[in-house]
Amino acid sequence: MGERKIKLVPGEFYHIYNRGNSKQIIFKDDFDYQRFQILLFLSNSSTNFKVENLRKGKIDFFEADRGEQLVAIGAYCLMPNHYHLLLTPLVDDGVSLFMKKLGTGYSMFFNTRYDRTGTLFEGRYKSQWADTDEYLKYLYSYIHLNPMKLYDANWKESVLQDTSITFIENYLFSSYWDMCNEKKRREHKILTNTAFPQYFSKSESASHIHDWFRARTDLATD
């Protein structure tokens, strides 16, 4: 395995992503998505957990004492055959430790559930450094707009309607749900937005996406 071209260091922001081997589906139903969200929370920890042990102990997965977090997650989105994360490491080697736990945990779950063997993901996770504030803002929007592909495969060329933004606001397997809804759900604990710039706060993040939609609609109707 080759050495990663960029060193992932605390204080910097990174887009982490991967997809299924040969573009295969890695989330077949809601239970798969939910397990990955649970692992996003539990893997981000100096402690090792077994989901089955927590379930037997009747412990809410999102109430488990994680100890020291390895990374801060500012945004994420899960799609049928891939995922996107936007994060910053909190400790040295935090990203590699977190991703190893996440990838191993989910692969074991998926292979057991579907009675399969072999590699689930397409090699090692990929990473991009958000080296400017403009690029970090772009990644934030790009990640949260990914579910639009499920709403309309040609959405970038389509005239956007109000139902378009409603779709991503109600998409349960993305952090955008937690940004734009007043009602809190357990999954909001996956995020640590205090480690990110102000526009990752709930008060500004939704307006950022709404502004993008308004700009796209204006262009489409000119």
The per-residue pLDDT for range 100-142, each reduced to its tens digit, is 999 999 999 999 999 999 999 999 999 999 999 989 988 988 8
Better-predicted residue by pLDDT, 17 or 159: 17
pLDDT in tens, 138-160: 898 889 989 988 888 776 666 65
Under DSSP, the state recorded for 59 is -
pTM score of the predicted model: 0.88
pLDDT in tens, 180-208: 888 889 999 999 988 998 777 665 656 66
Q: What is the pLDDT of residue 221?
A: 33
Tokens 């990640």, residue? 143
Q: What is the pLDDT of residue 202?
A: 61
> 14-221 is classed in which CATH architecture?
2-Layer Sandwich (3.30)
Long-range pairs of 213-217 with CB within 8 A, sequence gap ≥ 24: 213/160, 213/164, 213/165, 216/160, 217/159, 217/160
Q: What is the pLDDT of residue 218?
A: 47
Tell me the one-letter amino acid at 19: R
207-220 average pLDDT score = 57
85-99 average pLDDT score = 96
Delimit the domains of the chain by residue range: 14-221
Long-range pairs of 128-135 with CB within 8 A, sequence gap ≥ 24: 128/14, 128/15, 129/6, 129/12, 129/13, 129/14, 130/12, 130/13, 130/14, 130/15, 130/86, 133/197
Better-predicted residue by pLDDT, 218 or 176: 176
Q: In this structure, are residues 33 and 172 in contact, taking their beta carbons and an 8 Å threshold?
A: yes
